[in-house]
């Protein structure tokens, strides 16, 4: 059984497609300004063209293991943007992460797929995994979409031009938060979004 203590665990930030952990600069500074130490904030870099279930989940599991060893903690919180929602979710559901991850927060994640994934699915496995009828999406959403004891939060915007439809981000059993209309990548710099992230992290599990 997980030991979710009152102490806030380290936060692992998972970027989206064709970016890197540098996209988290504004959120990291916001969290530091609100009580987090920089050495408890971690950004995972990965090749977004690789397979969610065959490659990335195992790599993410090893990364989280390293974070726990470095910090001496037993649990982590995760904030994922866009495609980053898929390998981090797979880790929770299928690779033992549900007893490690206290909070999982998805910003504009293609949790039920996005139609735009078809545009690059032929040459990009990450895109293929994001298509609504992909093997990855179907397995992530079979049975329960939000296996306990992890707490799940999704943050989505009706103005998201990359997740089609934008409501694809929402999950059954999660706290699904609709924010004001903004573009897909604008969630990475929105004070409104940051406020919801901080409230979720502060609320524990």
Is residue 47 predicted with pLDDT exceeding 70?
A: yes
H-assigned helices in the chain: 25-33, 57-71, 85-94, 125-130, 135-141, 191-203
The fraction of the chain above a pLDDT of 90, given in percent, is 95
Work out the mean pLDDT of the chain and round it to a whole number.
96
- pLDDT top residue among 15 and 205: 15
Q: What is the pLDDT of residues 140-185, one digit of tens each?
A: 999 999 999 999 999 999 999 999 999 999 999 999 999 999 999 9
pLDDT at 6 over 90: no
Copy the structure tokens of residue 158: 């009706």
- Report, as an integer, the average pLDDT of 19-43: 97
Q: Which of 111, 104, 103, 114 is nearest to 163 (CA)?
A: 114
Position 2 scores a pLDDT of 40
* Cα distance between residue 1 and residue 52, in whole Å: 26
Q: Does domain 11-203 have CATH number 3.40.50.1820?
A: yes
Can you give the pLDDT at residue 64?
99
Q: How many CB atoms lie within 10 A of CB 136?
A: 24
In angstroms, the CA 111 to CA 131 distance is: 10
Structure-token pair, residue 75: 């649990």
177 beta partners: 155
Domain ranges of the chain: 11-203
Whether residue 155 contacts residue 195, with contact meaning beta carbons closer than 8 Å, is answered with no
């Amino acid at each position: 059984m997980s030991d979710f203590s009152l102490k806030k665990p380290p936060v692992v930030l998972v970027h989206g497609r064709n970016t890197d952990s540098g996209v988290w600069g504004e959120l990291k500074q916001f969290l530091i300004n609100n009580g987090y130490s920089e050495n408890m904030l971690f950004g995972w870099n990965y090749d977004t063209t690789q397979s969610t279930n065959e490659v990335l989940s195992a790599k993410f599991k090893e990364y989280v293991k390293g974070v726990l060893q470095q910090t001496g903690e037993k649990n982590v919180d995760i904030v994922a943007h866009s495609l980053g929602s898929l390998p981090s979710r797979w880790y929770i559901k299928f690779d033992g992460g549900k007893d490690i991850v206290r909070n999982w927060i998805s910003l504009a994640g293609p949790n039920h797929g996005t139609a735009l994934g078809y545009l690059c699915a032929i040459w990009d496995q990450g895109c293929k995994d994001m298509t609504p009828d992909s093997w990855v999406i179907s397995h992530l959403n079979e049975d329960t979409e939000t296996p306990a004891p992890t707490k799940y939060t999704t943050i989505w915007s009706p103005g998201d031009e990359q997740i089609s439809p934008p409501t694809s981000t929402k999950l059954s059993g999660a706290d699904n938060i609709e924010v004001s209309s903004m573009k897909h990548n604008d969630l990475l710099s929105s004070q409104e979004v940051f406020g919801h992230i901080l409230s979720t992290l502060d609320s524990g599990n």
